[in-house]
Amino acid sequence: MAALPDVVLEAWKDRKGPIVLATVNKEGIPNIIYASCTSIFGTDKVVVADNYFSKTRANILAGCKGSLLFITEAGKAYQIKGSLEYHKEGEVFDDMKKWNPVKLPGHAAVAVNVEEVYSGADRLL
């Protein structure tokens, strides 16, 4: 894992709307969802609350890698790629429970471990 570049950490503070999270199943069929309950954990993980995952959860538990995309208010896009962890307890899960809205189930916390970062075609990490 690697730390998110400072430019991405700053851009995260100015993100607009939900993120897009992409996974793939064992047959190579992609699944993409919007997720609005997200946060950065440390400098090397982006966490997404599993509030209503189904295919996404199955893909993660099968061991796929993932990618997430977010856009800033200024319209600049950033993509983060990496391995995925599914936390139903522990430090990452407990942190998710602090920011995930109480009205949502928060079944688990999915951590995208930062391995690659892009802004458009430019590789930042």
Fold of the 6-123 domain: Pnp Oxidase; Chain A (2.30.110)
Residue carrying the six token digits 């997404």? 48
Tokens of 92: 């990452």
With H, G, I as helix, E, B as strand and everything else as coil, classify residue 99.
helix
At 21-59, the pLDDT tens digits run 999 999 999 999 999 999 999 999 999 999 999 999 999
**CA quadruple 111, 115, 119, 125: dihedral positive or negative?**
positive
Domain ranges of the chain: 6-123
Closest CA to 111 of 88, 91, 92, 90: 92
Inform me whether the pLDDT recorded for 1 exceeds 80: no
Query: Could you tell me what percent of the chain has a pLDDT over 90?
Result: 99
Tokens of 5: 């570049």
How much is the pTM? 0.95
- Cα–Cα distance measured from residue 61 to residue 114, given in angstroms and rounded to the nearest whole number: 18
Tokens of 85: 């962890």
- Cα–Cα distance measured from residue 41 to residue 90, given in angstroms and rounded to the nearest whole number: 13
